[in-house]
Each structure stands twice: as structure tokens, then as C-alpha cells.
Amino acid sequence: MSTQHETRDADARAIDALRKELGDEVVLLGHHYQHQDIVDHCDFLGDSLELSRKAANVAARHIVFCGVYFMAESAALLARADQAVHLPEPDADCVMALMTPAVLLDHILTRLTSTGRRLIPLAYVNTFMDVKAVVGRHGGAVCTSANAEQMLRWALKEGDGVLFLPDKNLGQNTARTLGLADTDIHLLDIRKRGEALDLAAANKASLLCWPGLCAIHARFTADQVNAARAADPSCRIVVHPECSPEVAQAADAAGSTSFIIDFVRSAPAGAHIVIGTEGNLVRRLERQYADRVKIDPLLFSTCSHMAKVTPAKLRNSLEQIRKGTAAPVSVPELDAAPARATLERMLEVCA
Ligand code: 13P
């Protein structure tokens, strides 16, 4: 056995022992994109929406969140005051979330609403607390890929326009599903600290999209979808809506990570499914359903930030909790209150 395997097994045994010792004090939540070595220890696995709901309802005093920073921060916003949320690796970030600086968003929203327009900001959950706080102060809400349609419908009714951020792909894919025409959608030019905005074009559109994207899903192309179909015309192709509109339209279906799991679960025996999302989830589904369906990645694309949560980091996090030296995710109340309101609004609208 290699040293790497020995270390991994020692970490796994230590995690099991710590969990036994900590008992009901700790609950482990994990996102579907986590590596199997982490998933094996999780009490609950879910997509962003399911994890937000779970975080708002668990009894344990310590929530160890195996995912990336914005997810743990959202859990911390929804947790009770006597609960602590821990991220085993605080540097596990999200490239897309980093594409929206809060100050720039506030400036742009102020410019776009200076005419008196009631523009509702709708933030994908892949944003940091300070951005959610700006969204909250401007009367907006959060959405996830699982409820983007419902939330966009809500936001379009609430105001006379919506600013969807940061994912231009999820924004455009959702708008198309709701039947918005291309002329209803405007991609914002956020350069020059917001001074490059085309205000006339923005005023005419009902949906304004921030120009962010997910680096992992941006690797999927319509050519890959066409090549997969050419290789096996009977295959079914399912992708995450963070893929470009060209990819989402060329595929058979697009939906959240839980949607993709259900798509595989309900496929007929013998089906061949090609999946365009993060590689850890695709590999897990491939192993789980190996006796029933054939699964291929559209392209093997992994999230290096999700991968920062390792068994060694998880073990360390649990050790710190046991010793009472852990530093939980902090949510200073000034931003926490308006940011929490955006998450609560989502949970209410989608109750
Ligand atoms: P889900 O909401 O589908 O779990 O996706 C979260 C995410 O960040 C995908 O990149």
C-alpha cells in the first residue's frame, strides 16, 4: 500500500473516532462536488438549495460544511445564534463569486436605478455575504440553480426589471426557459468601475445579466455535445445550467446537481448518459449506477477549490472543535442582517 493510501486511511479512522467522540454535537454537510473520501463521512449530501434548507434546520451545535466558502457562509447566516459553522479549508473559494465585488455592484445598482426604475437584484447563491447584503438593501433575493426559474419569475413580478448576478449563463438559460426573448436580455458591461454601462440599452431590457461565469462549466462546449451525439446518437446529454446557453440548448436537459442525479436515477436500464458538470459528481454517479446505465463525462472538469477540502483538513477541523480552538465562519451583523434576509426571502418564496 502506498504512503498516500496509508495517510488517507489513518485520516479516515481518526475522523470516525472524532465523530464518535463528538456525537450529536457535530453534523457534517457536503456538496455533491466533494471527493468521495469526504462524501463517505457526510451525514447529508445535497445541492446548494438542499444544503441551505438543511443548515437552517439541523440541531447540532457544530456544522462542518464540506464545500466552498460561500456555501459555509450561507449556512452560517441561516444557522441559530448558538451554532457554529466550520469550513475545513477557509481558502476553498469560488471563482465565480469572486467576479462580483460588493462596492462595484452597489455602484452599478445605484446608477441603474437613478431614473427611479424598480430593478430587483437576484443573486445566485454563489456570492459572498457583502454582495448578498447589497442585494438585500436593494430589495432583492438569492436563488440557486434548483430554484432559479421560480425566483426569476418572482423577481420579474416584484419590479420592472431584474439584475441577475453573477452567472450570465444561469441568468440567460433561466430567462430562455421562462420564454424571455433575446431582446429582453442585456449583458452588462461592468468595466471602468461601472462607467462603461450602456444605460440606454440597460433601460430597455427586462433582464440585466452580470458577466460572471463558472470556470469549471465554461470548459464545456456545443462541439463536445455534438461530438458525443455523433459517437452515440442514442445517448442522453444532461448539463448544469452554469454551462453556456449554446451547450444547454444542445443538451437534452439542464438542471442543478440534484436534478442531474435524479436524471440518472430515473433513466431506463441500459441508457447511455453523458454529463456536463463537475467531475467528482460524474465519477460518483458512474460508480453508483455502473450495473444499470453507462455514464460518461462530457469532459472531465474538476473544481480545484472544492478539492481543497481533504480528509486531513476535515480531521483537523474536528480536532479543533474537540479542543475548543476552532475558528468558525464569522458573519458580522452589519452585513449579516440584510444578507440573511435575501436567503430567507428565497426560502419563503420556495417553501
Ligand atoms: P448546485 O446548486 O446545482 O448544487 O450547484 C452549485 C454550484 O456551485 C455549481 O457550480
pLDDT tens digits, one per residue of 59-100 = 999 999 999 999 999 999 999 999 999 999 999 999 999 999
For ligand 1, whether the C-beta of 169 sits within 6 Å is no
- Would you place residue 8 in the very low, low, confident or very high pLDDT band (cuts 50, 70, 90)? confident
Which residue, judged by its Cα, is nearest atom 3 of ligand 1?
Answer: 256
Q: How far apart are CA 24 and CA 193, in angstroms?
A: 48
- Would you place residue 155 in the very low, low, confident or very high pLDDT band (cuts 50, 70, 90)? very high
278-334 residue pLDDT tens? 999 999 999 999 999 999 999 999 999 999 999 999 999 999 999 999 999 999 989
Cα 209 to Cα 20, 53, 136, 251, distances in angstroms: 47, 26, 18, 22
Cell representation of residue 347:
426560502
pLDDT at 123 over 60: yes
Best residue among 44, 257, 278, 302 to mutate for probing ligand 1's pocket (most ligand atoms within 8 Å of CB) is 257
Q: Which amino acid is at 8?
A: R
Cβ atoms 241, 254 nearer than 8 A? yes
Cβ atoms 47, 240 nearer than 8 A? no
For ligand 1, whether the C-beta of 173 sits within 6 Å is no
> In the prediction, which pLDDT does 48 show?
85
pLDDT at 1 over 60: no
Q: Which amino acid is at 142?
A: V
Helix ranges, the chain (H): 3-22, 36-39, 48-55, 69-78, 102-112, 129-137, 148-158, 168-177, 199-204, 222-231, 245-250, 257-265, 279-288, 311-323, 333-349
> In the prediction, which pLDDT does 271 show?
98
For ligand 1, whether the C-beta of 214 sits within 6 Å is yes
> In the prediction, which pLDDT does 17 show?
98
220-274 residue pLDDT tens? 999 999 999 999 999 999 999 999 999 999 999 999 999 999 999 999 999 999 9
For ligand 1, whether the C-beta of 127 sits within 6 Å is no
> In the prediction, which pLDDT does 5 show?
79
Local structure of residue 294 (DSSP, 8 states): E
Centre of ligand 1 to C-alpha 126, Å, is: 8
> In the prediction, which pLDDT does 7 show?
81
> In the prediction, which pLDDT does 2 show?
62
Centre of ligand 1 to C-alpha 241, Å, is: 9
For ligand 1, whether the C-beta of 47 sits within 6 Å is yes
Cβ atoms 22, 321 nearer than 8 A? yes
> In the prediction, which pLDDT does 129 show?
97
Centre of ligand 1 to C-alpha 73, Å, is: 15
The mean-pLDDT minimum among 55-59, 161-165, 222-226, 274-278 falls in 55-59
What is the pTM assigned to this prediction?
0.94
Q: What is the average pLDDT score of the chain?
A: 96
Residues paired with 143 in a beta bridge: 124
- Would you place residue 55 in the very low, low, confident or very high pLDDT band (cuts 50, 70, 90)? confident
Best residue among 50, 65, 240 to mutate for probing ligand 1's pocket (most ligand atoms within 8 Å of CB) is 240
pLDDT at 28 over 60: yes
| Exposure on the CB side of residue 286, measured as CA atoms within 13 A | 15
- Would you place residue 44 in the very low, low, confident or very high pLDDT band (cuts 50, 70, 90)? very high
> In the prediction, which pLDDT does 3 show?
78
Cβ atoms 28, 321 nearer than 8 A? no
Best residue among 47, 95, 275 to mutate for probing ligand 1's pocket (most ligand atoms within 8 Å of CB) is 47
Backbone angles phi, psi at 2, to 5 degrees: -75, 160
The dihedral region occupied by 263, where left means phi > 0, alpha psi between -120 and 50, and beta the remainder, is alpha
Report the atom number in ligand 1 closest to the C-alpha of 146: 2
Neighbours of 232 (CB within 10 A): 13
> In the prediction, which pLDDT does 52 show?
81
Centre of ligand 1 to C-alpha 183, Å, is: 28
Question: Nearest 5°: CA angle at 303, between 99 and 100?
Answer: 10
> In the prediction, which pLDDT does 240 show?
98
Centre of ligand 1 to C-alpha 145, Å, is: 6
Question: Which residue, among 162, 125, 169, has the nearest Cα to 146 in the 3D structure?
Answer: 125
| Mean of pLDDT values over 149-154 | 98
For ligand 1, whether the C-beta of 256 sits within 6 Å is yes
